[in-house]
Amino acid sequence: MIDSGYYQATDFTGLDALESSKAPVEVGGKVGIVLPTKDEPRWIQDETRFRDALKAAGYDAEILFSQGSSAKEQENVEALITKGVKVLIICPQDGTAAAAAADAAKKAGIKVISYDRLIRETDAVDYYVTFDSKAVGAQQGQYLVDKATGKGNPLYLYAGAASDNNAFVFFDGAWSVLQPKIADGTFVIKNSSEAVALQGKATLTRDEQAKIIGQVTTNWDFNTAKNLTEANLTSATAADKGNVFVLAPNDGTARAIADSFGSDKDVKSYLVTGQDAEKASIQYIVDGKQAMTVFKDVRTLVKDAIGAAVALLEGKTPTAKGSYNNGKIDVPAIQSPVVSVDKANVKATLIDSGYYQATDFTGIK
């Protein structure tokens, strides 16, 4: 009588008690989760946090990995469709290629939640659960700006995979902070002619970002990052080195990039950014090899994703705070904050909060 709109809930008292006495929605077997790869600690963190949260809630959901392959991802989605899931939580390997998988899910009546990375160019995405990725890039850029004094500081730029929408958002955030400091001469870009050609522009179009990313992409891969950095250092002169400032997009690539700068005899000091607060990078920060990381509390992302999945199973619309355009539609989104972490606050942020144990590291007491 109420849900149909015949009467208004406000006409009565006692409806809340009725609502809370309803049986909870059955989640078991109805939610499928697809993550990009087991080869990066970031996504293992997500798997672990998903398993912990599902267990705590008494839920059961399958988690499949795509191992860096869009074809495998499509297979995973087909398998979950066959199993009869009602909600799909998916972090796409390739944001545009995943549109086909999302379309197939939609056709089967499944609600799709894009997780961390946005699925592009399709109307089959119902909801987007993400971190504030622009803030991730802005915090990386700000760290370098805060540490730079004088003029002419050598700046090396590296980016994520062009197939990942986040790579653009991170770069956009970093550029918004770095560009004014490039324009005023604080920094001089040393490894990207495309970035130099665009350095007068405060805001870049996606196509312009793509030109720079195409030149400095790590493809989110340790070896690609290592090879690119070594190639950059080989073609740079000793004068292009000295005390260098390095925008590295995430922890996995940051360690490769930092190792390469660290073994160049003309590099006197190097400040390298990162993100994800991977354990290995926390150790690098403690050891002074990586300058900072951006902590993204995966527990929050997992909680938001599960909350959205349950709302969708109940036929409700999950709460959105804004939206992201995916090239086709504005996807309702919820985003969580991120925290800049360096030697000074690593203990307070990651150990005292209980996220990691001090015993996981050497040098943190």
Site of interaction with ligand BGC (CB under 6 A): 40, 42, 116-117, 160, 164, 166, 220, 250, 275-276
Nearer Cβ to ligand BGC (186/218): 218
Nearer Cβ to ligand BGC (141/160): 160
Nearest to 198 by CA among 172, 229, 231, 220: 172
Nearest approach, Cβ of 240 to ligand BGC (angstroms)?
A: 28
Local structure of 188: helix, strand or coil: strand
Nearer Cβ to ligand BGC (116/259): 116
Nearer Cβ to ligand BGC (153/250): 250
Nearest approach, Cβ of 357 to ligand BGC (angstroms)?
A: 22
Nearest approach, Cβ of 37 to ligand BGC (angstroms)?
A: 7
Nearest to 296 by CA among 314, 278, 284: 278
Tokens linked to 308: 């959205």
Phi-psi region of 36 (alpha: psi -120 to 50; beta: other; left: phi over 0): alpha
Compute, in degrees rounded to 10, the torsion defined by CA atoms 183, 189, 193, 199: -20
Nearer Cβ to ligand BGC (35/77): 35
Q: Residue with CB nearest ligand BGC?
A: 250
Angle CA(171)–CA(306)–CA(77) in degrees, nearest 5?
A: 75
88 within 8 A of 112, measured Cβ to Cβ = yes
Nearest approach, Cβ of 96 to ligand BGC (angstroms)?
A: 14
Nearest approach, Cβ of 210 to ligand BGC (angstroms)?
A: 16
Local structure of 112: helix, strand or coil: strand
